[in-house]
Amino acid sequence: MKEAGYIFNVASRPGKIGYTDTGIYSASKFGLICLSESFYKKLAPYGIRVTMICPGIVDTQMASETATKLSSEEMIQPTDIMKTIRWLLKLSVSTCVKEVVIEC
């Protein structure tokens, strides 16, 4: 990890806000957010950056199987998450963005 210097955790918007029909899913994502926060604090002294990415509805098979009323074009595209990671990797090593919430 020290050589890589960066950890990205991808949770979900429901990890930030609970919804009526996603309690278990939201709880698992909230747990990942908390773990990421712990890593962020513990690994910073070693120069390892940790960023939690929390996207809303991403255009995936899972999203298409839910009751979402969004079209594919209205959802977050997986490539946008990759573009976000690329942007974060371009920041100077002295900069760390702890969390990114991506809305659609």
Tell me, what DSSP letter sits at residue 36? H
Is 25 considered catalytic here?
A: yes
List the catalytic residue out of 6, 25, 40, 46: 25
Give the angle subtended at the CA of 5 by the CAs of 50 and 3, to the nearest 5°: 150
Phi, psi of 24 (to 5 degrees): -65, -45
Strands 99-102 and 6-10: unpaired
Just list the catalytic residues.
25
